[in-house]
Structure 1
Amino acid sequence: MRHASFGAWLLGLLLLGLSVVGLIRWPHWVWTAPIACALLALGVTYRLRHNGGPLVLGGIALALLVGAGALAQIATSVSHP
């Protein structure tokens, strides 16, 4: 479980970083959605790692990470000229 939460934490940081870079490169309000989704995923992953939460938290973290990736792709297509 610890290896999976570390991977989810690393992926969340990567998506957060890419979204912030996208916000700096192509400023648009639509970047707030993937940034918020990545931050929520990091929070759920932190809680999962330290509290040893149930499998539901792992599913929520996975859904938030997939959502952050999909929203970052949408934000790129909307904000990129």
Structure 2
Amino acid sequence: MADPLFDTDAILRKAYFGVWLLGLAFAGFAIWGVFRYPHWSWTLPIVAAVVALAANHRLRNADRRGETVLLGAVTLVFVVGSGVMLGVALRLARA
């Protein structure tokens, strides 16, 4: 089995750490929002952040370029989606 690309690619390591921080921050803000403004819409950013963190964790062990690209795209989509849905949930909960 080949070594994971995470061990050889510095950009991938930086992106992994950045997504880890953003995912935890978005999940934390959404969980805080559940307690501050209770509403069902907070589930979407929480789920998106958890999926992004799971894909990001799997990205750490990826050993093929195609797998890395696919997991990176999934991670990016779900991190951005979590951030966008965080704003939407805040507007819905405060209305």
For the aligned pair, the TM-score class normalised by the smaller chain equals: over 0.9
Are residues 1:60 and 2:74 paired?
yes
TM-score (norm 2): 0.80
> Deviations for 1:44-76, whole angstroms, at most 9, x for unmatched residues?
000001334421111110000000011110000
SS in 2 for 1:54: helix
1:79 is displaced (CA, Å) by 0.3
Unaligned runs of 5+ in 1: none
Q: Is the Cα–Cα contact under 8 Å of residues 62 and 68 in structure 2 kept in the other structure?
A: no
Paired AA for residue 48 in structure 2? C
> Deviations for 1:16-58, whole angstroms, at most 9, x for unmatched residues?
0000001110000110000000000000000001334421111
In structure 2, the partner of 1:42 is 53
Indicate the percent of aligned positions where both proteins have the same amino acid. Answer: 40
In structure 2, the partner of 1:17 is 28
Structure 1 segments of 4+ aligned residues over 6 angstroms from their partners = none
Q: Which moved more, 1:55-64 or 1:45-54?
A: 45-54
The CA RMSD over aligned residues, in Å, is 1.1
Aligned mates of 2:43, 2:15 — CA distance in 1: 26
Unaligned runs of 5+ in 2: 1-11
Aligned mates of 2:47, 2:19 — CA distance in 1: 16
Aligned mates of 1:80, 1:50 — CA distance in 2: 40
Structure of greater Rg: 2
